[in-house]
Structure 1
Amino acid sequence: MSDKLTYENWNEEKAAEILKEHRDYLDILKWAYKEYKDDIVYACSFGAEGIVLIDLIYKINKKAKIIFLDTGLHFPETYELIEKVKKRYPTLEISLVKPTMSLEEQAKTYGEKLWLRDPNVCCYLRKVVPLQQALRNSLAWISGLRREQSPTRRNTQYINKDEKFHKIKICPLIHWTWEDVLTYIEMNQLPYNPLHDNGYPSIGCAPCTLPVSEPGNQRAGRWAGHQKTECGIHLT
């Protein structure tokens, strides 16, 4: 039996032992790529945290697999940033994962602008299901979650048993602040989404993302007017 840490053989004591030897974000990333090799994927939203993680990952594995959940509803600035990142890190395997259902097909089945009436269903169809399919052959995935982002993320660990997708979820940036993220981008002169300069700390699909006026709540601009703070990917 393999001693690799997987969802199926998850062991709290083993996870704790790993963390004793790998106590910071770079150690965790190095361990993750050594442990899972080609069986790990980074699901990147191409927000500020995503840019930082891509740069860090590139230092460790220049052929890492990175996926972007292309709902077909993202800001033009997001798609432009992806192209810039591809040019800066040409050896990374960056894939845009699209839902099996087009926006036109979704409108025929669920009605026009589903995201306005039932954003939970829209996110499930255009983000959760595509990620589930993209992770099918992987043992682990990487996420840019930070504890500071929202109350639902405050208990996130470096290494997590992901009950949603039945994988190991690695979150290297849990202790980073928004200021840490911006400082890293500035110091390393990384490309980033210009919407961050216009009051958008968290950037998702264009119809569901507004500028934030509450400095203490970085995700306040997501799904404004709905009792919703997550797309469903990080909720069990």
Structure 2
Amino acid sequence: MHGKSLSKEYINDLYKKIEPLKNSIEEKLKIIYNLFPKKVVFSTSFNIEDQLISHFILKHKIPIKIFTLDTGRFFEETYKVWEDTNNFYETSIIAFFPNHNNIEKFLSCHGPNSFYNKKENRKKCCYLRKVEPLKKALKGNCVWITGLRSEHSIERSNLNELEWDDVHHLIKYHPLYHWKLKSIEKIIKKHRIPYNSLYDKGYPSIGCAPCTRSIKYGDNYRSGRWWWENNSKKECGLHTRKNDV
């Protein structure tokens, strides 16, 4: 089923299998894993949604591979929640890193903070630090699980919980897509799941340290990302569709 030939009908049939389970995320994940054993991966950036998905996977011992894209510019707090998660669940989250030769060349040419000056530099930095490593992380897999939710942005409100990724040629599954933030916070608190302490300081969406700042109550969820850019679309390129390229 891995390839361009995967039909909409197949994805619709798969959705019909998991949709009746409603909020039983662990059961949905089990069904998907059993259909694609050893070919399902989850990408975490250690945001609150990702921590809940990791909880469902690790608590129920579903053998889905969990990885993160370590850009080299994470907040100290992000590294702490990474370590706390490993310790809490007695696991080891896999890390994928940027190609050091490409990063060296980019920094030597443009400097360490050139993304503040030109949008093209920001996009290139995101590409080198996130998009390229993602390709390596997804290679050979059939399903990519993410923490995207419809509340995040206008662009993300037009997705489907289960969809075909025409850039990476695999199924993309967003298990918390229809969930509300309060429901996520409730379970995080109930099970004492480790989460990023920056979340309590006004960082609902946490990326690289130089590119993320806190927001005020009522602000757009992703307005703290790349705040110096005037456009409303706040994406790094990980979730780009073919028509957007």
TM-score strictly above 0.5: yes
Matched, 1:199 2:202: yes
Q: Distance in 1 between matches of 2:217 and 2:3?
A: 37
Contact 1:50/1:144 (<8 A) preserved: yes
Cα offset for 1:219? 0.5
Match of 1:19 among 15, 20, 41: 15
Give CA deviations for 1:145-178 in whole Å, capped at 9, x if unaligned: 0001101101222211112222211110101111
Q: How many pairs does the alignment contain?
A: 231
Which residue in the other structure is 2:186 paired with?
A: 183
Q: Give the superposed CA RMSD.
A: 1.7
Instruction: Give the letter aligned to residue 168 of structure 2.
Output: F
Structure 1 residues 52-201: aligned runs within 5 Å:
52-91=52-91, 93-101=92-100, 103-117=103-117, 118-201=121-204
Match in the other structure for 2:6: 10
Gaps of 5+ in 1: none
The answer to whether the Cα contact below 8 Å between 2:59 and 2:89 also exists between their aligned partners in 1 is no
Note the C-alpha offset of 1:62: 4.4
The letter for the 2-side match of 1:130 is: P
Q: Structure 1 residues 44-53 or 178-187, which shifts more?
A: 178-187
In the alignment, the residues of structure 1 paired with residue 8 and residue 190 of structure 2 have an alpha-carbon distance, to the nearest angstrom, of: 37
Q: Which moved more, 1:53-62 or 1:143-152?
A: 53-62
Checking the alignment, whether the CA contact within 8 Å between 1:115 and 1:207 is kept in structure 2 is: no
Task: Name structure 2 gaps, 5 residues minimum.
Answer: none
* CA distance in 1: counterparts of 2:8 and 2:63, whole angstroms: 30
Q: TM-score, normalised by structure 2?
A: 0.88
- Structure 1 length as normaliser, TM-score? 0.91
Change (3 A) 1:146 1:132: same
Aligned to 2:240: 235
